[in-house]
Amino acid sequence: MSTKTLTTPIKNEDLEDLTIGDVIFLDGYLITSRDDVHHRHIHQGKDLPVDLAGKAIFHAGPIMQEKKDQPGKYEVISIGPTTSMRMEKLQKEFLEATGVKLVVGKGGMGPKTAEGCMAYKAVHTVFPGGCAVLAASRVEEVESVEWLDLGMPEAMWVMRVKQFGPLIVSIDTKGNNLFEKNKAMFNEKKEKVVAEIIKHVDYLD
């Protein structure tokens, strides 16, 4: 297991030696992009208001608070990851269209995203779920917000982060998938566990 820091703009060669299970940190630009951003850009074909090439996206819908003395400037209150699997449908196309190199989220993603990570050289990582104040503490500045008409959780929040992590690599550029591996293990154990329980649930006299 290696521990390293990625800095945006991220190049393909920065990702080559990363393997599932590695723990990394991020310095640079992290932009929230979740369901509606993927839908608008890929499904509706609208141009993104932010250039994401070489940058990191965060599957996250934050709590942001407008600064009282600086209208239009925001402070991040709480920003943990959201369920990445929701973006499975469009993530591969999104990677291709944008040149995003690092995806940060929660939980696993599926085979289509793994194909995308291999083809377009990107990695999917997870930040510990629910740890939203910890994540907020690694944000240096919320530089801007785009597509705020989508509402607070779905807007694109452009942030500069420092030592953002721990990020656990869940899909690497070779297409290895940590959560799919874990799931196979869970399912194997599940068969045995369920077989044992159902011996005890025939309640009819």
The count of other CB atoms within 10 Å of the CB of residue 166 is 15
Catalytic residue list contains 38 = yes
Residues that bind other proteins (CB under 8 A): 21, 23, 60-63, 65, 77-80, 82-86, 106-108, 126, 128-134, 136-137, 150-154, 166, 168, 178-179, 182-183, 185-187, 189-190, 193-194, 196-198, 200-203
Q: Judged by CB, which is closer to other proteins: 13, or 197?
A: 197
* Rounded least distance, CB 10 to other proteins, Å: 23
C-alpha distances in angstroms, 189 versus 8, 15, 180, 193? 41, 33, 14, 6
* Rounded least distance, CB 82 to other proteins, Å: 6
Across the chain, where does the E strand assignment appear?
3-7, 23-32, 56-58, 63-66, 74-78, 102-105, 123-126, 139-146, 156-171
Q: Judged by CB, which is closer to other proteins: 120, or 154?
A: 154
Q: Within a 13 Å sphere around the CA of 87, how many CA atoms are in the beta-carbon half?
A: 35
* Rounded least distance, CB 191 to other proteins, Å: 9
β-partners of residue 197 are none
Q: Judged by CB, which is closer to other proteins: 11, or 183?
A: 183
Residues annotated catalytic, as ranges: 38
